[in-house]
Amino acid sequence: MNLPAVRAMHLTDFENANPELLTVKPQRTALEYYFTCTPFLPRFVLNRNPEMEMITYLDADLYFFDDPRPLFEELGTGSIGIVPQRYPPASQADSAQFGLFNVAWVTFRRDAVGLACLRWWGERCIEWCHLRSEDGKFGDQKYLDDWPARFSGVVVLIHKGADVARWNVANCSLTQGEDRQIYVDGQPLIFYHFSGLTQIRRWLYNPRFHSNVKPVRMLRRQIYGPYLDALGCLERQVRDAAKVAALDDGAWQRMRRPTVGRNRNTSSQLHQLLRLCRLAIGIATGRLLICFRGKVM
């Protein structure tokens, strides 16, 4: 894709540098293994780049709307930067299950504290890292809960525009300035976390909004719209680079078309009809997103 300043790494090199990962890989699902790898990735990059003073781990489903410089300014001379979940009062039970902080953005400075935290986190994830709640743990994320007390130099980044997501967007006010910049409680939206977004059809997406989220026009069009457009552009680039022909719309529809009317099984027909009704309701209420030619309807 010819992205400037991007260096790819080979999984084999990463695993060979961290052999402890291979010992637990057979006992973890693919997603659990990805979570297990999280603390090892920043350390791997730091070890390979001795000139690097600081590193920030980012989840793959983030989209930046503005310069993240304010977050680094907020970190200042701190050793570790983490972002809070910001659950609304009605969702505080989620905090107990998934943690006080989100792994979407975690910054480590190359100093004694930052490196010690990475080592500790890696050891914990080797011991236990599963996609379930157990004894106060959940994946790689709940381990962050006591970092402010366990390590000095931890800065909880409070900028409202960082890590806005489906679980906390109902807890803030979205506005758009004359410059078309999106603001979150008066602060510029820096990045949105599109966790849970799934594609139902080539043109239909489920953002999995929490029940307390109102899918207002600004959220759908000004936040999800640019992201879905960018995903579509990247998909076309990758497809062209791999020279893999995409299914045309007709073929896609033939593959995914409900079989109501052909299937004589009444139960199956009712299931398909109910599914179509749910899709129609989701589209009508804005809880499902239609993306056509790069625009969210």
pLDDT the model gives residue 13: 97
pLDDT at 138: 97
Average pLDDT over residues 190-206: 92
Q: Which of 231, 203, 207, 197 is nearest to 288 (CA)?
A: 207
The one-letter amino acid code at 297 reads M
| 44-48, 175-179, 287-291: least confident range | 287-291
Least confident of 60-74, 137-151, 168-182: 168-182
For residue 258, name the pLDDT band (cuts at 50, 70, 90).
very low
| Percent share of the chain, pLDDT over 90 | 64
At 28-40, the pLDDT tens digits run 999 999 999 999 9
Q: Are strands 191-193 and 62-64 parallel, antiparallel or unpaired?
A: antiparallel
CA distance 280 to 269: 16
| Element at 156 (helix H, strand E) | strand 154-156
Residue 153 backbone phi and psi in degrees, to 5:
75, 15
Strand partners of residue 206: 198
Distances (CA, A) of 138 to 33, 130, 214, 225: 13, 7, 28, 31
Regarding the domain delimited by 11-193, which CATH topology (the fold level of the hierarchy) does it fall under?
Answer: Spore Coat Polysaccharide Biosynthesis Protein SpsA; Chain A (3.90.550)
Geometric angle at alpha carbon 225, from 224 and 231, rounded to 5°: 90
CB-neighbour burial class of residue 133 (10 A; exposed 0-12, middle 13-18, buried 19+)? middle
Report how far residue 18's alpha carbon sits from residue 122's, in angstroms, rounded to the nearest whole number: 10
Q: pTM to 2 decimals?
A: 0.85
Tell me the C-alpha to C-alpha distance, in Å, between residue 79 and each of 45, 72, 197.
Answer: 17, 11, 32
What pLDDT does 47 receive? 97
What is the predicted pLDDT for the residue at 246?
45
Q: Which of 24-33, 109-118, 248-257, 274-283 has the lowest mean pLDDT?
A: 248-257
Q: Percentage of the chain surpassing pLDDT 70? A: 84
| Tokens 């109902």 belong to residue | 170
For residue 191, the SS3 value is: strand
| Structural domain spans, the chain | 11-193, 198-296
Residue 9 DSSP label: -
pLDDT, the chain, mean = 87
What are 127-157's pLDDT values in tens digits?
999 999 999 999 999 999 999 999 999 999 9
